[in-house]
Amino acid sequence: MANRIVRSALNHLVEDLRSTHGDNLASVVLYGSAAAGDYIELRSDYNLLIALNKITPADLRQAQAPMREWQRLGNPLPVYFTVEELKDAADVFPIEFHQMERARIVLYGKDPFEFVELSTENLRHQTEYELRSKLIQLRRLYIPASINTQQLSLLMNDSLASFAALFRPVLLLMGEEPPVSKRDCVRSTVKLLKLDSEPFERIFELRASDEMPLTEVEANDLFAAYMEQIERVIEAVDSLENRS
C-alpha cells in the first residue's frame, strides 16, 4: 500500500483526526493509486476521503492542524463528506464513487461504501464530459510542450494516468468489469475497442523510468498516435448515447 514513511504518516494522521473530530469521525478511507497497488513514487498521490457524521465550518477549521504535516509531505488535502452525503451523492459523482468503491482501503471506522448504492444512470454523460475535457486540455498543453522532449514526455505520462482512470467507467459502460490497476484498465480497453496498444505501452514504459530516451521527432510521433487512440475511445463512448 505504501512505504514505511507514508504508512507512519497515515497512522499519525488517523490518530490526529480521531483526536480532532472525536465521535464525529466516522471513516477515513485511502483510495486511488495507492489503494489499487499501482502507485508510482513521486508521481502519484495518496488520496483520502474523510467521512464525518456532520460537517460545520468549525469542524473544517479544526482539521487545519492535522493537515499541516500531511500537506508538508506533498499530499493533497482529503475530501470531506458527511455519511448522509455519501449515500445521496452517488448519482452526482458516478465516476469518482465507482473508482473509490473498487479501489479503497478503510484506515479507520466503518466502510462508508457498504450501504452506498451505485448506478450507471449518469455515468455515460460524466465519462464523456471528463474524457472530452481532458482531451481539450491535452491539446492546449501540447502547444508549448511540442518543442521540448522532456516536457512532452511528462505531459504524456501525466495525462495517461488521468485517462487510464477514466477507462474504468468506459469498461463499466461497455458491460465489462474493470481491473483495479490503471495499466490493466488500459489494456482491457484497448482489447475491447480494438485500439492500437503500442502508444499506451510505450508511455507506460516512460512512466516507469526516469530516463527520457525519445528524440523530438519520436516524442511528437508518439503523441500523435496516443491522441488518435484517445479520440477513438471518446467516439466509442459517444456512440453509446445513440444506441440508447
SS3 call for 104: strand
Using alpha carbons, list the distances in angstroms from residue 131 to 42, 149, 160: 25, 25, 11
Catalogue the long-range contacts made by 149-156 (C-beta closer than 8 Å, 24 or more residues apart). Answer: 149/212, 149/214, 149/215, 149/216, 149/219, 150/212, 152/219, 152/220, 152/223, 153/206, 153/212, 153/214, 153/219, 155/223, 156/203, 156/206, 156/219, 156/222, 156/223, 156/226
pTM of the model as a whole = 0.66
Beta bridge partners of 28: 50, 108
- Asked if pLDDT for residue 67 goes beyond 80, the answer is yes
Q: Cα–Cα distance between 173 and 95 in angstroms, integer?
A: 11
Alpha helices in the chain (DSSP H): 4-21, 33-36, 57-62, 64-72, 83-88, 94-102, 123-145, 149-173, 182-193, 198-207, 216-243
Q: CATH 3.30.460.10: which residues of the chain?
A: 4-109
What band does 78 get if pLDDT is binned at 50, 70 and 90?
very high
Q: Cα–Cα distance between 199 and 221 in angstroms, integer?
A: 9
- How far is the first Cα of the chain from the last one, in angstroms, to the nearest whole number? 40
Q: Compute the average pLDDT of residues 24-28.
A: 96
Tally of CB atoms within 10 A around 241:
10
Statement: 4-109 belongs to CATH 3.40.640.10: no
- Asked if pLDDT for residue 59 goes beyond 50, the answer is yes
Place of cell 465521535: 23
The per-residue pLDDT of the chain, averaged, comes to 87
C-alpha cell at 163: 485517462
Enumerate residues 6+ apart whose C-beta is below 8 A from 102. 36, 168, 178, 180
| Eight-class DSSP state of 113 | T
For domain 123-243, give its CATH number from 1.10.10, 1.10.1790, 2.40.50, 1.20.120: 1.20.120
pLDDT the model gives residue 242: 57
Q: Compute the average pLDDT of residues 225-241.
A: 94
Q: Strand 104-109: give its sheet, edge to edge.
A: 79-82, 47-52, 25-31, 104-109
Using alpha carbons, list the distances in angstroms from residue 61 to 17, 32, 64, 85: 12, 26, 6, 20
SS3 call for 25: strand
Ranges 41-45, 161-165, 178-182, most confident = 161-165
Q: CATH 1.20.120: which residues of the chain?
A: 123-243
The amino acid sitting at 160 is L
